[in-house]
Structure 1
Amino acid sequence: MKFLDRILGRKSAQLSYDQVADLIGGHGGVTIAGVSVNEKTALQVSTVLACVKVIADGCATPPLHVYREIKDGDRVTRQKAMNIPEYRLLNRRANEWQTSFEWRRLMTVHAALTGTGLSIKVRGDNGRVRELIPVPPDQWTMHKISRYEIRYRCYDEFGLIGEFKPEDVFLIHGVQWDWASSMDAVALARSAIGLAMATEQSQAAMHKNGLRPSGTYSVEGTLSAEQHERLTAWIKKNSGVSNTGNPLVMDRGAKWLSTSISGVDAQHVETRRLQIEEVCRGYGVFPIMIGHSDKTSTFASSEAFFAAHLIHCLAPWHRAWTQRLDETLLDGSGPLFAEFDTRYMRAGSMKDRAQWARTMAEMGIYTRNEIRDEEGKDPLTGLDEPLTPLNMTQGKGTNDANTANQDVTA
């Protein structure tokens, strides 16, 4: 680059990362409504930050357990596989610097913003994964070396880390367009995010100007270049928030002609409220989950929204996480599987839970240990058999009883 600059007689300039990303990726510097929208600037929009945080916290807060299926005849039970290294890796500490909560939240943030989160698998001497090291989205690239074979090149501030095969990395994808890569969520919602950013900047500039719109300062006669500069500087000096309410003294028959609409005429409040809903729609997050609710929301409807958030927003992310963990980190089709514990999200009031537990136990639908497991309690001896109500018997017992009654009658 410097050699070409010398030949063409140009002065070289150091490019920022965003400018380089724009040249390489082709979308880093795309402007919407006059503002540049990428994953870094998008996070400065409070709605985007809140949506990404809600999704990331929803994948990081629930405890993540690894279970082992145990077959006992026709009965299949499960038990926490606490004796394998992957359990502590996923449940407690993903690497030397991050807990499981921190690692899962970081990976989900990367996936929600850029489409994919990537971590390098660090294996021990026995070949088992010992650590998962996350790599920022701007420090790794995916290359196809053949039709169905890809490699991942990872970098850091010191240079190339290495080139890794798919089995040497852990990936969590967002919405995908093909089998190898994901779609950039910020790029897909760029119009809504850009308009939200432009609206915030416009309203901030208006408040900076003391809520006084721009206009034309008209005077009689012709101004020289020096007079024009001095008058412009004087107007800027006597305007702004610090001079709000001060009288503006004008001479030479000067007039102030407003050329901008007010914040009320621009409907800033309505526009910003609509952009919150548009950004939430792009991320699949209910507005009430980020603290935005309209006048029609009630306490009862809020509870329904919270349940819908778990089903329609977090459940797809949880399924993406667990299937990736099962197939690429655990034993695939073996007895091990990962599962998020979301019972605290679905739990009702103490009264409702007590009534449900009593009904399920007395009807024999759940064993008492299964109900204890639902409440996060350890099983107790003798509570593994379902109860049978006195006024209910199974089919075989009913037939035997009817036969006995017939014999007695005879």
Structure 2
Amino acid sequence: MKAAAKKPGRLRAAALKWLGVPIHLTDGDFWADYFGSNSAAGVPVNHQTVLKLSAVWSCVRLISETISTLPLSMYEKTSTGKRVASHHPLQFILHDQPNSDTTAAVHWEASVAAMLLRGNARCEKLMIAGRVVGLQFLHPDRLNSFRRDGVKVWRYTDENGLQREIPNDRVWNIPGFSLDGKEGVSVIGYGAEVFGAAIGADMAASSTFSKGLMPTTAITYPSTLKPNQRDEARQTLESLSGAVNAGRPVILESGSEIKTIGINPADAQLLESRAFSVEEICRWFRVPPFMVGHAEKSTSWGTGIEQQMIGFLTFTLGPWLRRIEQAISKDLLTPAERTKFYPKFAVEGLLRADSAGRAAFYAAMVNNGILTRDEVRELEDREPMGGNAAVLTVQTALAPLDKLGQAEDGNAARASLRAFLGVPDAASKE
């Protein structure tokens, strides 16, 4: 039977109220986050305890830091394709700096981490004259909502304990995986059993190592001991336990014997269970285990680094990038702007192969008239050259097999005609 959450003590409640965070018994989100979800392992599971697991820490960092380093730009649709909308106000906000205190990389890192752990990332839209001029990330621990006359209002407490209200239309929400199409679900709540088992395995491992890899032991005597003898035997045994005292000899007297109680780490398959927990956690975040340092099994996402990055981009990062892009278009652009502008993450940097592979790919794209040389230079982060470098070119030496002789005869005829007329060819002019 699950234990009911206790309400906070008077000192804690008073401190929270002084900080501007009123606590009520009906604040389910606060109590769930503070006490954590109950798990069969008997340990609390919340966003703080799960981040102490190396697999969770690595998965959250891998996804959030990778997305935060991808360039996010506003693009303008043109008659010939697209171009970066450098004049659009959101370009600087999304790409460089959302507010005076935060860079774009840090902002997206925190937002994606909140989506991964809490299910939603919420930001305040900083407005001037009805236009978005900045974004302020709202920490989930200091944000809660209520309704006033049927209208949803958000209450936020800043770092100094000052509390303020934010209208609902000023709060921008980016939901993660959703079941109702509105709010994202928390992976911590749904994966409490898996995370709780992993935390329990880590705690068991720490306890085992603190005892010098020795299981719980008991000393048996042929006769009943007196209280003072029992205390002396217990103190002696405790002085020999622990990793520091491992290896010290034990003196047994009066026919006493030492027996182990419980299961040793090998029988409990402690190492195997911890390794399995890493794989289970990676499943929850859809991250291949090899990308968080778990290389016991080979990946099925391809053999080369390029194929593995394509799989990571397609199956892991792709849904998150799409959610962010569509949330920007939906909530930060006006209806008129949506027909002309759109946000897009640049993921080409993740797909770069080795230098030889890139050279072969670029040569094929340029020679077949698919990319210009300036477009290739842009992919390599080089300045455009302009002129003929911005023109699509194709190889003209290619011809059907039955036309090869005709091409040579035509060139010979042209040369003879030039000689007869006394007209020099292009090569002789140079």
Q: Which residue of 2 aligns with 1:187?
A: 189
Q: What letter is aligned with 1:214?
A: T
- Alignment of 1:31 onto 2:31: no
Indicate if the aligned counterparts of 2:371 and 2:392 stay in contact, CA closer than 8 A.
yes
2:388 is equivalent to residue 382 of structure 1: yes
Q: Identify the residue that residue 144 of structure 2 maps to in structure 1.
A: 141
Instruction: Name the TM-score, length of structure 1 as normaliser.
Output: 0.83
Displacement after TM superposition at 1:266 (Å): 1.5
* Alpha-carbon distance in structure 1 between the residues aligned to 2:381 and 2:225: 81
Normalised TM-score (structure 2): 0.79
Offset, 1:144:
6.3
Instruction: Give the partner amino acid of 2:42.
Output: G
State the match for 2:359 in structure 1: 354
Task: Give yes or no for contact 1:210–1:241 (8 Å, CA) kept in 2.
Answer: yes
The 2-side partners of 1:386 and 1:303 are apart by: 27
Give 1:129's match in structure 2, choosing from 122, 129, 132: 132
Partners of 2:306 and 2:339 in 1: CA distance: 38
Give SS of 2:268's match.
Answer: coil
- Give the Cα–Cα distance (whole angstroms) in 2 for the partners of residues 67 and 356 of structure 1: 26
Contact 2:221/2:257, CA 8 A, preserved across alignment: yes
Greater mean alpha carbon deviation, residues 307-316 or residues 330-339: 330-339
How far apart are residue 295 of structure 1 and its match? 5.0
* CA–CA distance in structure 2, aligned partners of residues 321 and 134 of structure 1: 14
AA in 1 matched with 2:351: R
Shift of 1:141: 2.2
Alignment of 1:267-278 (within 5 A): 267-278=269-280
Q: Paired residue for 2:100?
A: 96
Secondary structure at the residue paired with 2:253? Answer: coil
What is aligned with 2:77?
69
Ranges in structure 2 where 5+ consecutive residues have no aligned partner: 1-7, 17-22, 400-430
Aligned residue pair count = 375
Q: Secondary structure at the match of 1:78?
A: strand
Counterpart residue identity of residue 31, structure 1? N
C-alpha separation in 2, matches of 1:300 and 1:229: 62
Cα deviation 1:249-280 (Å, max 9, x = unaligned): 12232211111222222212211111100000
The structure having more radius of gyration, on CA atoms, is: 2
The amino acid that maps onto 2:76 is R
8 Å contact 2:99–2:135 — kept in the other structure?
yes
1:335 maps to what in 2?
340
Q: CA RMSD in A?
A: 2.8
Given the alignment of the two structures, is residue 40 of structure 1 paired with residue 48 of structure 2, yes or no? yes
Task: Select between 231-240 and 339-348 the one with higher mean Cα deviation.
Answer: 231-240
Paired residue secondary structure (2:391): coil
Counting only pairs closer than 5 Å after superposition, residues 5-404 of structure 1 correspond to structure 2 as 14-15=11-12, 24-25=28-29, 27=32, 28-32=35-39, 33-71=41-79, 75=80, 77-124=81-128, 126-143=129-146, 150-156=152-158, 158-165=161-168, 167-296=169-298, 300-332=303-335, 333-379=338-384, 380-390=386-396
Q: Is the 8 A contact 2:117 2:187 kept in 1?
A: yes
- Partner Cα distance (1:368, 1:206) in 2: 62
Letter in 1 for 2:193: S
